[in-house]
Amino acid sequence: MSIASRARGALTLGLAAVLATAGVTALSGTARAASTLGAAAAEKGRYFGAAVAANHLGESAYATTLNTEFNSVTPENEMKWDATESTRGSFTYGAADQIVSHAQSRGMKVRGHTLVWHSQLPGWVGGLAAADLRTAMNNHITQVMTHYKGKIHSWDVVNEAFQDGGSGARRSSPFQDRLGNGFIEEAFRTARSVDPAAKLCYNDYNTDGVNAKSNAVYNLVKDFKARGVPIDCVGFQSHFNSASPVPGDYQANLQRFADLGVDVQITELDIEGSGSAQATGYGNVVRACLAVSRCTGITVWGVTDKYSWRAGGTPLLFDGNYARKAAYTSVLTALGGTSPGGGGSAACTVTYAKAEEWSDRFNGRVTVTAGSSAISTWTTTVTVTSPQKISTTWNGTPTWDSSGNVMTMKPNGNGSLAAGASTSFGFTVMTNGTTTAPRLGGCTAS
């Protein structure tokens, strides 16, 4: 496709998406392929969201990354029972409200997570006898959904009600143990009566491929559909690592649920690892969702590796310095977008780490990682804060701006990198009394 026709296509689809989703920003105003996750997903008729913690919204790099790249949010913990009703009948919404207003004022959608779950459940709930527990559950659903009525596109009404392993049995919880199998149906019926406009989802993990647990959820949904119990969507958490990789039948599993007449959503995606293996996993998930017309959106479980619930596994799209990872490029490419400055599919990301340190100077190391395609060369910039000066560099060819504070670095000789492969260069910063970390510009590859 020519660049011009591709740009026209993007513009037409983008406008259609704006009209269809009223309020979700799909275009930045220029007629070119989408260059953010949210915009690229919107052009495919999907949302692309992140789990968000209210206490990080004040960090400017966190908020900027969220606001630029994502068009849906899920409060990571703030809507859970222990956050909203830690004491019976006393509801607290401060932190969740902060996330909802942040999202609403920027045209982002909000996923509600979660109303009935065995975890992050205050102790008082587990102490109730059956009739009282039923009242408390229905009241909790009613109060929280009423507070957010009209502001939530999808609610995880019930989370993780099935056991792991081959039994397909229900997980023990106060709800299951006192109210029996019917608690899920009761929760969904109550939820529908409170906010009929919200999509009502069942959400779980280890249900991402066809297995005993997903079969049990499948049978639940099938039964609900057959009996007219309200249910609109199934959430697939999609927490992956080397022991639990993206299943080969991921798309087929999403499709069989969609064929029951529910939407499917990827609700908590993260993939532990790095480089091309991680990038490939992310690309596979995105392509699977796009191949299932009822897969309406993808949420990753956090903005940056540094605040991930599995930070040690670096499972997200942005590293601890908010640099785009190879996984980011893989997702954006799978969504049909193009990295700003990336020529075609060639792309790279950069991360900074401080190395040795002395009283008057420190060494910095920048790692350059190719995106999901091989690259033949790369360029990035390192900016130091005056009166700092860079005194030495190695493994790169630097040029300088007139101030001497901005160094543009290119490869020293052959800049070729295989997809997902990394190289690094280093430099010494004379602090001259200022220890501020250098700032990296974007990475450009061809």
- Tell me which of 69, 85, 160, 186 is the catalytic residue: 160
Find the binding residues for ligand XIL in span 288-327 (CB under 6 A): 309
Distances (CA, A) of 308 to 77, 115, 243: 12, 22, 18
In the bound state with ligand XIL, the residue whose beta carbon lies nearer, of 195 and 268, is 268
Find the binding residues for ligand XIL in span 231-270 (CB under 6 A): 237, 268
How many residues bind ligand XIL (CB under 6 A)? The answer is 6
Quickly count: other Cβ atoms within 10 Å of residue 157's Cβ: 29
- Tell me which of 43, 78, 268, 272 is the catalytic residue: 268
102: left (phi over 0), alpha (psi -120 to 50) or beta: alpha
- Least Å distance between CB 110 and ligand XIL? 15
In the bound state with ligand XIL, the residue whose beta carbon lies nearer, of 315 and 420, is 315
- Least Å distance between CB 38 and ligand XIL? 21
In the bound state with ligand XIL, the residue whose beta carbon lies nearer, of 65 and 237, is 237
Tell me, yes or no, if 268 is annotated catalytic.
yes
DSSP annotation of 31: S
- Least Å distance between CB 309 and ligand XIL? 3
- Least Å distance between CB 322 and ligand XIL? 19
In the bound state with ligand XIL, the residue whose beta carbon lies nearer, of 51 and 288, is 51
- Calpha distance 357→425 (Å, rounded): 16
Q: Cβ contacts of residue 228 below 8 Å, gap of 6+?
A: none
Q: Determine contact, residues 302/76, Cβ cutoff 8 Å.
A: yes
* Cis preceding-peptide flag for 387 (omega within 30 of 0): yes
- Using Cβ positions, the residue closest to ligand XIL within the complex turns out to be 309
Contact string (CB under 6 A) for ligand XIL, positions 76-115, x = contact: xx--------------------------------------
Tell me, yes or no, if 272 is annotated catalytic.
no
Q: Determine contact, residues 23/85, Cβ cutoff 8 Å.
A: no
String of b and e for 107-118 (b: at least 16 CB within 10 Å)?
Answer: bbbbbbbbbbbb
- Cα of first residue to Cα of last residue in the chain, in angstroms, is 19
Q: Determine contact, residues 173/120, Cβ cutoff 8 Å.
A: no
- Least Å distance between CB 225 and ligand XIL? 23
Token pair for 427: 């430099």
Find the binding residues for ligand XIL in span 8-67 (CB under 6 A): none
- Decide: is 159 part of the binding site for ligand XIL (CB under 6 A): yes
H-helix segments, 305-408: 326-334
In the bound state with ligand XIL, the residue whose beta carbon lies nearer, of 237 and 274, is 237
In the bound state with ligand XIL, the residue whose beta carbon lies nearer, of 241 and 428, is 241
- Calpha distance 445→346 (Å, rounded): 6
List phi, psi (to 5°) of 370.
-70, 150
- Decide: is 208 part of the binding site for ligand XIL (CB under 6 A): no
DSSP annotation of 392: E
Find the binding residues for ligand XIL in span 186-205 (CB under 6 A): none
Quickly count: other Cβ atoms within 10 Å of residue 226's Cβ: 9
- Least Å distance between CB 189 and ligand XIL? 22
In the bound state with ligand XIL, the residue whose beta carbon lies nearer, of 41 and 116, is 116
- Calpha distance 101→54 (Å, rounded): 11
Let me know how long the chain is: 446
Binding footprint of ligand XIL on the chain (CB under 6 A): 76-77, 159, 237, 268, 309
Catalytic residues, by residue number, are: 160, 268
